[in-house]
Amino acid sequence: MTILPQEIIRKKRDGAALAPAEIEAFVQGLVAGSVTHAQVAAFAMAVYFRGMSMEERIALTRAMTQSGTVLDWRSLGLPGPVVDKHSTGGVGDNVSLMLGPIVAACGGYVPMISGRGLGHTGGTLDKLDAIPGYATQPDLALFRKVVKEEGVAIIGQTADLAPADKTVYAIRDVTATVESIALITASILSKKLAAGLQALVMDVKTGSGAFMRTLEDSRELAASIATVATGAGLPTVALITAKDQPLASAAGNAVEVRNAVEFLTGAHRDARLKAVTLALCAEMLVLGRLADGIGEARAKVERALDSGAATEHFARMVTALGGPADFVEHHERYLQVAPVVKPVFASEAGLIAAIDTRAVGLAVVALGGGRTRPQDAIDHAVGITDLAEIGEEVGGDRPIGFVHARSEERARAAAETLSAAYQIGESQEALPPVLERIVGA
């Protein structure tokens, strides 16, 4: 019996629950071309207003996962678990660049499929594109080879993996339905399930720089992802982490890669960035049964980092995916440098009381480090470094950051935006880096 897409839309519009067979038929119709983009838009709007039960979310996630290739790592005979993490996005969030190599050094295998920048948030692929020669879109054969041999490969979504999600997301982006928690959940998890994972850790951001600005909304999204993933057969833990200020002291592309290399080698490690990175790594080791508890996992993670083992995995991944063989040792030689570097001072001296983190991200976008249109080219050299933190005293010799720009004009514009993003006043206590832990039911 044929299930008409308009009847599925009508049913959801009227607030009824959809059966798994109806959801599967709708997604299959989208891939086959019998469901139009207009119908997808109507479906997305119906879901936005009416929501979906956990059972419906699981069914949608599974259907979108099965819309393309689902990777199977068993044929490679990997001696460790296949695990990954996903973040809802942030400013100065280069965690993936360190996390994948750290977990690989601890015996895990990390096939990380990442995205590009979205809105005010930076994208892992845009950062990796700052490394000359690094192939962010390799074929699946090379992807599998690098994961097997180096333990980690960070790449972009291929056309084979969850193609239904690509179409649905593009339509959501232009129909004001991006914020639907049900659709966000299915979008994230369909790609992760298609990657053939055995365990997943989610980093759900909350605060002024997050898409979910309130703790309540972040908690709802984290619970949805953890519950739906576990229900779809992917054990998942979600950490809610603070995004009331940039996570790293650098925001941009090349500047965040430089920050990541300094983190791995021990030259410089931002405290909040370290707290979040190591917490996520430890959860991945426990879920992957590489450690019996968080304490043991944390000790393994710190050894992998401090011994240089994680740095070696990062270096080998970069080389295996086309980057320079001596990138870690000579990253300054390879990363682009902006011609204009200017310190930015606050409107008055004092303690930083609050930061509009979204505005900091938008300053990077305005410099050319992000996109205002999908077809925009990224300027990898630009960004902001040495960002001050909440509670820190600025003024005198201490600016709130340094703008790296292509021109004096863009530097001045970014400086104005950055200065306005920082509120000076009585000292405020920043949110803890990790706020809550949510386990899939």
Clarify whether 61 is annotated catalytic. Answer: no
pLDDT at 209: 67
The percent of residues above 90 in pLDDT, for the chain, comes to 77
Choose the catalytic residue: 61, 65, 67, 87: 87
Q: Is 300 a catalytic residue?
A: no
Range of weakest confidence among 3-7, 48-52, 85-89: 85-89
Q: Give me the catalytic one of 88, 96, 124, 277.
A: 124
- Amino acid type, 194: A
Check: CB of residue 287 under 8 Å from CB of residue 298: no
Residue 190 among the catalytic residues? no
Distances (CA, A) of 355 to 5, 171, 211, 414: 46, 32, 16, 15
pLDDT score of 114 more than 90: no
235, 154, 193: which is closest to 71 by C-alpha? 193
282-321 burial: b if 16+ Cβ within 10 Å, else e: bbbbbbbebbeeeeebbebbeebbeeebbbbbbbbbbbbb
DSSP code for 365: I
Q: Which of 61, 84, 177, 236 is catalytic?
A: 84
Residue with tokens 């976008």: 365
Q: Which domains, ranges and CATH numbers included, belong to the chain?
A: 5-51 (1.20.970.10), 74-330+434-439 (3.40.1030.10), 336-425 (3.90.1170.30)
Token match 């994961």: residue? Answer: 147
Residue 292 among the catalytic residues: no
pLDDT digits (tens, 9 = 90+) for 344-381: 999 889 999 999 998 998 899 889 888 666 567 889 99
> Angle between the 95-105 and 309-320 helix axes, to the nearest 10 degrees?
110
Neighbours of 201 (CB within 10 A): 27
CA angle 96, 129, 161 (to 5 degrees): 65
Q: Is 187 a catalytic residue?
A: yes
Q: Is 165 designated active site?
A: no
Marked catalytic residue, from 62, 85, 116, 300: 85
Catalytic residue among 12, 62, 86, 219: 86
- Output the pTM of the full model: 0.91
What CA–CA distances, in Å, run from 241 to 133, 198, 203, 282, 385?
A: 33, 23, 7, 15, 22
Confidence bin at 431 (pLDDT 50/70/90): confident
Which listed residue (127, 192, 300, 358) is catalytic?
Answer: 192
Q: Is 172 a catalytic residue?
A: yes
Q: Do the bridges between strand 251-252 and strand 383-385 make them parallel or antiparallel, or are there none, so unpaired?
A: antiparallel
Asked whether residue 210 carries a pLDDT value surpassing 80, the answer given is no
Q: CA gyration radius for the chain?
A: 22
Q: Which of 136, 187, 236, 241 is catalytic?
A: 187
Active-site hit among 12, 172, 300, 410? 172
Task: Look up 192 and say whether it is catalytic.
Answer: yes
pLDDT in tens, 163-197: 999 889 888 877 888 889 999 999 989 989 999 99
Please say if 347 is a catalytic residue: no
Q: Which of 191, 258, 272, 316 is catalytic?
A: 191
